[in-house]
Structure 1
Amino acid sequence: MIDSLDGGISLTFDRVSTDRVSRAESVAHQVSELISRQNVQPGARLGRKSDLRDQFGVAASTLNEAIRLLESRGLVEARPGPQGGIFVAKPTAQIRLSHLILGLDATSLSIADALEIRNALELPLAAHAAIHADREGLARLERIVRRMGELQDDPAEYLRQNWQLHEAIALLSSNEMLRTIYLSLLDTARHSLRDVAPDAHFREAWQENWALHRELVDAIASGSPGRARIAAERHAPYAERLNDTIA
């Protein structure tokens, strides 16, 4: 057991185990656990990089990779300068989307509202796509939805392909203003995204969610705007606001 040298709070780390996980992932996991277990508050200093390298007994490259992993999960932030080091980050905002928990930048403004507006625009976009889709556009939709059907064990990639599918549908619309607004809302959410995690029921609900997207693509391919609107309405995910910001 090794005490940190952060000069403010007393933290205890275990030596890194390399069994079945990389050294960097092991360090990241232990830091995450100690933040949770010891209820370390946002803004607390975990130490300088040199301190943490000594405490974990790892090389600089390994520690840097661990910090990158932790930063991508919104758990820590690195600050430069004499008073810098590795600090516990402010928690991200979160919303629930189709059995996925989306972790967003804490500074993001009402992403749930942006997604709600985006969902409302999907009905006319689906109808436009049914009218205007060409062979190449339909082939792209088919490739994406098939790929989604292979991702029940990868929720982050499933969400990425999901949003890529809706982007591809929007690009088939002839209404430039509608298309631009929709893609802007999609980009707002996508650029604010820091983490994706499945809830306890993701595996149970995944098949149904994918089937709704499968039907949406089939409806667009049918060329019937009415069928496409119905499919879009049935599929529209419900964005449940868990919390906008966590102070």
Structure 2
Amino acid sequence: MTTPVRLLLVDDDPLVRAGLAMLLGGDSGIEVVAEAGDGAEVPAAVDAHHPDVVLMDLRMPQVDGIRATARLRARPNPPEVVVLTTFDSDDNVLRALRAGASGFLVKDAPPEQIVSAVQRVAAGEPILSSGVLRRLMDQAIDSSGSADQARAALGRLSPREREVAVAVGQGQSNAEIAAALLMSMATVKAHISRILTKLDLNNRTQVALLIRDAGLD
């Protein structure tokens, strides 16, 4: 039997947490192991319950979801993070992705989409295919650097690593990259690991955003 995805819910609204716990806890592939009411509570909750995925609200009174995500993803072997937002035009979503989140959900998303997103992120698949996310990325201005800076960062990669990075930026899975570039899955994973190390990034979403900044997607 496949082990359920261990999930930590983080939201300052108890009713939202209760609704999400009921929704997600009813799926046999997900186990809600803990809840937190603010980003400040996340480190202790992660240490105590070891979740695979954190479903994180953005707007909280003490430590917001962006800061909580950045702090969490800076830790060794952190869980994946999916951020929550009420409005799909919220620019903070992109900031959260840059902080290390693997994707985001709008709070009124269909229940099956929320369940699927949690399971996909736990399996290492970032949530990049959403039309909402694409619109945000199209409209965003990268405050961390210009297109020239993004291209300079990519210049640290070997030609083959750059090909893999561009494929990641196009939303391709490891299997699709392996087929397109005539590589084994193990080789693709090794390239992605080296890309993350060389660029000082911590997930595929950040690679995709860098590719977008460089205008190579």
TM band (smaller chain):
under 0.3
Structure with more relative contact order (C-alpha pairs < 8 Å, separation 6 or more): 1
| TM-score, normalised by the number of residues in structure 1 | 0.20
| TM-score, normalised by the number of residues in structure 2 | 0.22
